[in-house]
A and B are shown apart, each in its own frame.
Chain A
Amino acid sequence: MRNSKKAPEINSSSMADIAFLLLIFFLVTTQFASDKGILIQLPPKLDEKPPELEIPDYQILTVLINSYDNLLVNNDPMKEVTDLTQKVKDHVLNNGVDPTLSTAPDKAIVSIKSDRGTTYEMYLSVLDAVDQAYNELYADKLGITPAEFRELDNSSEEYQKAKEGMPKQVSIAEPTDIGG
């Protein structure tokens, strides 16, 4: 009878520990989906051959990647992919100074052509380098950092403003069939 005076208590001090264990389990197993990447738009399917466009060579910066992952930019070999960013910037902002590069930012085209044997990693780093060049140019134009620019929504006003007069024209040609 003496015991009944006091309400019986369950020792719950270890409850926190149990909860912690579960928490840590979920923390460790959670994988936040990494839905980040490089966005491109494929050309629509055409049944007949597209009309031949008359674009002078100097408007196009041709980037060729062979099956050994070597780069050829406007017929000059390039050792590092990282140099491509500067080259693309020079090409877009050339405004007719160098006769081998574009005459105006809105006419500049970057053409990327790979081989079937090119590794995907190399292809992606080339795309990345070209993207970097354009993102930096756009960010400069808006006066923000490239990282801030990448956070912008496609439909936002600023994004459209940046693209105006300097559209990103990247042509991804179908690969050649030489390497395996």
Chain B
Amino acid sequence: MDITHLAKLARLALTPEEIQSYQGQLGSILQYVDTLQELDTEQVPELQHAIEVTNVFRLDVPEGCEMDVRERSLKNFSNRSEDLLKVQAVFDGRTE
């Protein structure tokens, strides 16, 4: 298992010590998990939903959008100027 690659996929900066310790730990967890392969599940359906629900629709009207919840949510953002949320450039090669 390539922990460095996985960390890249999961957007996690890891220290060399962390990479080394996860290598061993994840290996032994996966070894344990491999007992699942003993079971023949060819004919078994996947349990996709914890509860039998079909599409739950509601009318396409805004609801639950209280202004003060919006205000409080904005306050949690790391960097903003008034209502504008500031983030770094999303695309490579751009600085702003």
Q: Are chains A and B native binding partners rather than an unrelated pairing?
A: no
* Chain B residues proximal to chain A, CB less than 8 Å: none
* Chain A residues proximal to chain B, CB less than 8 Å: none
